[in-house]
Structure 1
Amino acid sequence: MRKIIPLVLALLLTACSSFDQVDETKNWSPSRLYSEARDELNALNYERAIDLLEKLESRYPFGTYAQQAQMEIAYAYYRQGDQPQALAAVERFIKLHPDHPNVDYMYYLRGLINFNDRTSIFDFLSRQDMTERDPKAAREAFDSFKLLVDRFPNSKYAPDAEARLAYLVNGMAQYNVHVADYYYRRGAYLAAVNRAQAAVRDYPNTPATEEALFIMMKSYDALNLPQLRDDTERVLRLNFPDSIYFKGGKTIEKPWWQIW
């Protein structure tokens, strides 16, 4: 009799466990699944929304809600802060539905996911070593927004994408200038020149150009290359005749070992 009691108890616990795992959405229609998922999204319950949307897609893969669910899944992961899953969902949708009427939104969303990447170049000021920052996310965001603007110029997302493109260009140019300044301060003058040249060459007509030219001028001076130094100064004066660098407003500090 003693052996029977534990067995009965185990069976009861198993039954209770099975009861708890009953899926309440089992008989839900696709419209109800989608409606409930939207309610969860609006309530910022992204994990629950994703669960409902994935059930909707798996149960009704060829229904009218399936493609919409795929887009909503990508958005939910984005709002949840799960960048890898969000990007994977976006790429999957674009691959499966390249001609979808709303594919422009997915390119826009892909740009947003990278644009808001927490490890992007736009938080570089919190880092001590600028050379350790790789603006990969910013470049990928740029590519997505550029593709959207080029391929879907009449998209309702195009104006915002263009504004973000301008911001990204300025940010990437400034990133190169910060790295060039980092190299200059540590006496790596050739590396400083190369980085400053990249800012001028790859991102012309941005606010960072002025400082990039100044860093090039100072680096050439430190490298004892007077001709290149003078040529760079002429370009700087020609393009920025009122530059603060010629008025003593801003300077680049010398490396510590050259101060004495």
Structure 2
Amino acid sequence: MLRRIAVFILLATLAFTVACTNKKVNNPLANVGSKQPDKVLFDRAMDAMKHNRFDVARITLQTLINTYPDSEYIARAKLAVADSWYAEGGSTSLAQAEAEYKDFETFFPNMPEAAEAQVKIANIHYQQMEKPDRDFTHAMRAEEEYRQVILQYPDNKKMVAEAKQRLLEVQEVIAEREYRVGRFYYLRESYPAAIARLQSLANKYPLYSKADEALFLLGQSYEGEITMVRAKKFAEVSKARMIQDLTKSAAEAYSRILTRYPLMDRVDDAKARLQALHQPVPRPTKQAIALNKREEESRRETPMYKQVIRNFSKRPDTEQAAKGGDPTLVDPPMTSATEVVQQATRAMMGTGGGADKNAVAIETVGNGAPPPSQPAPRSDAPPSDNAGAQPENSAAPPAEQPANELKPNVATDSNELKPNTPSDSNELKPNVSDNSGQTLPPPQQVNEIQPGQASQPADAQAGAKPGDSASSSSTQQKDDDETISSSKKKKKKGLKKIVPF
């Protein structure tokens, strides 16, 4: 009995061991029940990432990508490489993660993970965003990347909702920066620059938490311009035109506070300024009141301890950002200080919009019948009566050539018509005799050697004498004899007969 029990236990143990060794791997991407080598590499990389061994995970994933380029894990592997850089952190690692996410979007644009990759690219810049008075490069990049998420992947509701909320926070930081710059120009009484900044801010970021403050400073800047215009020595008519235009612009800024932000703090001040400028005070609609109420209720107050911590951190405060509404996806036209000055100048001159340098003039053509067309000129047409007459505006005839001028010897055509003019007696003519068509003999060659004449050097022929020629010939003959005798083979004598060399 005990033996049977022992055998039964042994068989059960063996069956359990075999079952454990043949355990199938659960593949989340493909329901394949075997241990594939690419799946093994992918699992090892994921395990390394869980234990923060990012370099080991990247090496394993690169091995998977290079060894199995047709694997079904390629997309997940490339995304995991980017995730490893993103999880590692640091400016260098985040920059590398952004490049990897961009590559993933390029190679796999239709996968659902492409929207996730774009959101993480925007989050990279969102994490590096600094305070409004610091470098705003990452804030601008984050705004651009979040806009790309909303515009490129509108069907991914989850990612679009996250991108919209983050975009509102980023735009809150950028708007705060623009407000501080505009306020600085206002305090320095540089009103055109302040107007340009504040006007662009009000048009671009309507959900800014201090939009009423920006519009009120905009109206105050226009009133500051009015004060400066009154102090200048202009013509009264021009001064009145400019003051009227500036007053209208200030009233528009104050009226916008009442109609768009009726529940904010600057409403009473805007009403007072409109009454002081003798301008009508508008009343807000119920829709505007409800919209502004929702915006104000969605904002959160920054706790006291966070305000203290913010002083020691470079991260911006985004608590005041609106939690609802649609952010600005397309930037409106920006206003520059130059445009503000030009507009004031046009208002002073009374030209309104100003003259357009690129204006096109229109010429009105009459309704009469066009004149008849002239016949086409022909080469065989007879000359007209006034063909020989010289027109008044024609060029003057060439001046007469002097009689003693040398003329080139140019062959003339026998069929050419020549004018019937008397010949000049002083004209040089070539000395050519008429041989009735016979060919003239060639001229005698001067340097040709005649038969029976010995050739001599030119310098010897030039100044040689008879005696000198005889002595030179004898010397030359003697040199020739010596050369011939030296070239002959001489007989050897004595020991030289034995020595062969």
TM-score scaled by length of structure 2? 0.38
Total equivalences in the alignment = 211
Residue 241 of structure 1, CA deviation: 4.1
Mean Cα deviation higher: 177-186 or 68-77: 177-186
CA gap 1:221/1:49 in 2 versus in 1, 3 angstroms:
farther
Which residue number corresponds to residue 138 of structure 1? 142
> Deviations 1:157-187 (Å, cap 9, x if unpaired)?
3332232233233333333223322333344
Residue 41 of structure 1, CA deviation: 1.8
Which residue number corresponds to residue 35 of structure 1? 43
In the alignment, the residues of structure 2 paired with residue 207 and residue 149 of structure 1 have an alpha-carbon distance, to the nearest angstrom, of 28
Trace 1:17-36 onto structure 2 (pairs within 5 A): 29-36=37-44
8 Å CA contact 2:82, 2:97 repeated in 1: yes
Which residue number corresponds to residue 231 of structure 1? 252
> Deviations 1:204-242 (Å, cap 9, x if unpaired)?
243232122122122222222444223322322343345
Residue 148 of structure 1, CA deviation: 5.0
Q: Does 1:95 align with 2:99?
A: no
CA gap 1:112/1:238 in 2 versus in 1, 3 angstroms:
same
In the alignment, the residues of structure 2 paired with residue 124 and residue 169 of structure 1 have an alpha-carbon distance, to the nearest angstrom, of 11
Root-mean-square deviation (CA, aligned residues, Å) is 2.7
Trace 1:99-178 onto structure 2 (pairs within 5 A): 99-116=110-127, 118=128, 120=129, 122-125=130-133, 127=134, 133-134=136-137, 135-147=139-151, 149-150=153-154, 152-154=155-157, 156-178=158-180
CA gap 1:38/1:239 in 2 versus in 1, 3 angstroms:
same
Structure 2: which amino acid aligns with 1:189? Y
Mean Cα deviation higher: 85-94 or 189-198: 189-198
Structure 1: which amino acid aligns with 2:43? S
Unaligned runs of 5+ in 2: 1-35, 227-245, 270-501
Q: Does 1:83 align with 2:91?
A: no
8 Å CA contact 2:185, 2:193 repeated in 1: yes
> Deviations 1:49-91 (Å, cap 9, x if unpaired)?
2232222222222212211111111122222232321111111
The equivalent position to 2:61 in structure 1, one of 50, 53, 66, is 53
Give the secondary structure class of the aligned counterpart of 2:179. Answer: helix
8 Å CA contact 2:182, 2:194 repeated in 1: yes
In the alignment, the residues of structure 1 paired with residue 57 and residue 102 of structure 2 have an alpha-carbon distance, to the nearest angstrom, of 20
Which residue number corresponds to residue 199 of structure 2? 197
8 Å CA contact 2:115, 2:149 repeated in 1: no
> Deviations 1:9-57 (Å, cap 9, x if unpaired)?
xxxxxxxxxxxxxxxxxxx932232222212222233333223222222
Which residue number corresponds to residue 240 of structure 2? none
Q: Between Structure 1 and Structure 2, which shows a larger proportion of helix residues?
A: 1
CA gap 1:166/1:124 in 2 versus in 1, 3 angstroms:
closer
Unaligned runs of 5+ in 1: 1-27, 249-260
In the alignment, the residues of structure 2 paired with residue 70 and residue 32 of structure 1 have an alpha-carbon distance, to the nearest angstrom, of 16
In the alignment, the residues of structure 2 paired with residue 59 and residue 123 of structure 1 have an alpha-carbon distance, to the nearest angstrom, of 46
Residue 247 of structure 1, CA deviation: 6.5
CA gap 1:111/1:45 in 2 versus in 1, 3 angstroms:
same
Give the secondary structure class of the aligned counterpart of 1:64. Answer: coil
8 Å CA contact 1:176, 1:195 repeated in 2: yes
CA gap 1:33/1:189 in 2 versus in 1, 3 angstroms:
farther
In the alignment, the residues of structure 2 paired with residue 218 and residue 44 of structure 1 have an alpha-carbon distance, to the nearest angstrom, of 56
In the alignment, the residues of structure 2 paired with residue 60 and residue 187 of structure 1 have an alpha-carbon distance, to the nearest angstrom, of 67
Which residue number corresponds to residue 180 of structure 1? 182
CA gap 1:138/1:196 in 2 versus in 1, 3 angstroms:
farther
8 Å CA contact 1:220, 1:229 repeated in 2: yes
In the alignment, the residues of structure 2 paired with residue 107 and residue 213 of structure 1 have an alpha-carbon distance, to the nearest angstrom, of 35
In the alignment, the residues of structure 2 paired with residue 221 and residue 163 of structure 1 have an alpha-carbon distance, to the nearest angstrom, of 37
Give the secondary structure class of the aligned counterpart of 2:131. Answer: helix
CA gap 1:186/1:51 in 2 versus in 1, 3 angstroms:
farther
8 Å CA contact 2:115, 2:156 repeated in 1: no
